[in-house]
Amino acid sequence: MSARIIDGKAFAATIREKVAQHVARLSDAHGITPGLAVVLVGEDPASEVYVASKHKQTVEAGMRSFEHKLPADTSEADLFALIDRLNADPEVHGILCQFPVPDHLDERAIVARIDPAKDVDGLSVTNAGLLAAGEKGLVSCTPLGCLMLLRDELPDMTGLEAVVIGRSNLFGKPMAQLLLRENCTVTIAHSRTRDLPGTVRRADIVVAAVGRAEMVKADWVKPGATVIDVGITRIPHPDKPGKTKLLGDVDFEAVREVAGAITPVPGGVGPMTIACLLANTVTACCRAHGLAEPEGLTA
Ligand SMILES: Nc1nc(=O)c2c([nH]1)NC[C@@H]1CN(c3ccc(C(=O)N[C@@H](CCC(=O)O)C(=O)O)cc3)C=[N+]21
């Protein structure tokens, strides 16, 4: 038996469609257009591609996109001055500073400078705390995207064993919180976990976010488990010179023979991340105006 392949690309398109419908309604009924500001410091080629993709999808959904590209040697003071302006700008409902930033800048300090109500990355201590406390905030886009895929696959996750591999603030911790909310029994595994294969083998739901290409092997996976692959490692393409290839954290070809359902890389979690960024911007906009939140687009 071979696993069902979860089509994150198609699912992300349906989320973007819902976002666009809500944006149209906000515009028609209230004359409001959600706006997303993306700040990019320096010239990382991968970041340029992501930011261009975010811009395109934001505009396609009918929202405003404000791009701010700053030179690599931008001082913290100048960056903070921009963030302060965006915090105060009523046309801007979401602010994202693309990571990584150059070494002289501190990602934590940047996140702390962004108004938590506009922190559509869900990275601020305030939003992390609200999630942990089970209160309403903004949830980090990649975990939110994984949750949407999982809810579609497993309408009731109550009592299921979930193992999240990776413990970052960006992904592992918020993902674990969301699974806990779905009534899963949650384990966060990481590089120091004693018996990683044995731990993963218990899981009905495996979420892999370690950043090590093809680390999760077929004999780590319980037959029938749902496997969500958050990894993205870019390698030189084995057959096409000069091209690159993306690998996930899961040994896809082997694991698909064991799992019940699995996300591919690319075309799995990645497209959901940007769709959820748009969803969070609409959510932030609705809250800023005291309007009803979009249905099916929040955690
Ligand atoms: N403040 C901040 N927030 C982020 O959310 C953030 C960030 N910084 N820095 C970089 C990472 C990475 N990230 C991705 C978004 C989309 C795809 C995506 O769409 N991937 C496609 C393929 C892309 C390709 O082919 O290169 C896929 O998996 O199918 C991947 C990765 C957001 N990030």
Every domain of the chain and the residues it spans:
31-125, 141-271
Mutation pick for ligand 1 pocket among 141, 273, 280 (CB with most ligand atoms within 8 Å):
273
Give the angle subtended at the CA of 261 by the CAs of 258 and 204, to the nearest 5°.
Answer: 75
| Mean pLDDT over each residue of the chain, to the nearest integer | 97
* pLDDT at res. 1: 74
DSSP letters of 172-200? HHHHHHHHHHTT-EEEEE-TT-TTHHHHH
The Cβ of residue 24 has, within 10 Å, a number of other Cβ atoms equal to 12
- Report percent pLDDT > 70 for the chain: 100
42: left (phi over 0), alpha (psi -120 to 50) or beta: left
**For 232-279, how does the pLDDT look when each residue is reduced to its tens digit (9 = 90+)?**
999 999 999 999 999 999 999 999 999 999 999 999 999 999 999 999
121 CB within 6 A, ligand 1: yes
What is the number of alpha carbons within 13 Å of residue 174 lying toward its C-beta? 27
- Catalytic entry in 119, 121, 229, 249: 121
Whether 173 contacts 188, CB under 8 Å: yes
CA of 293 to the centre of ligand 1 (A): 25
ipTM of the complex: 0.94
pLDDT digits (tens, 9 = 90+) for 81-115: 999 999 999 999 999 999 999 999 999 999 999 99
Mean predicted confidence (pLDDT) in 206-231? 98
Would residue 54 show up in a list of annotated catalytic residues for this protein?
Answer: yes
CATH 3.40.50.150 fits 141-271, yes or no: no
98 is catalytic: yes
- Is the CB of residue 232 below 6 angstroms from any atom belonging to ligand 1? yes
57 lines ligand 1 (CB under 6 A): no
pLDDT digit string, tens, across residues 46-75: 999 999 999 999 999 999 999 999 999 999
| Domain 31-125: assigned CATH number | 3.40.50.10860
pTM of the model: 0.97
> Residue 126's pLDDT is what?
98
Could you tell me the distance, in angstroms and rounded to a whole number, from the CA of residue 290 to the centre of ligand 1?
Answer: 30
Segment 157-184, tens digit of pLDDT: 999 999 999 999 999 999 999 999 999 9
Q: Is 280 in the pocket of ligand 1 (CB under 6 A)?
A: no
Compute CA 191 distance to the chain's CA centroid, rounded to the nearest angstrom: 21
Tell me how far apart the alpha carbons of residues 29 and 64 are, in angstroms, rounded to a whole number. 17
- Give the DSSP per-residue string, 69-124: EE-TT--HHHHHHHHHHHHH-TT--EEEE-SPPPTTS-HHHHHHHS-GGGBTT--S
Query: How far is it, in rounded angstroms, from Cα 32 to Cα 51?
Result: 24
CA of 46 to the centre of ligand 1 (A): 9
The three-class DSSP label of residue 275 is helix
CATH fold match for the domains 31-125 and 141-271: yes
Q: How confident is the model over 20-35, as a mean pLDDT?
A: 98
pLDDT at position 228 is 99
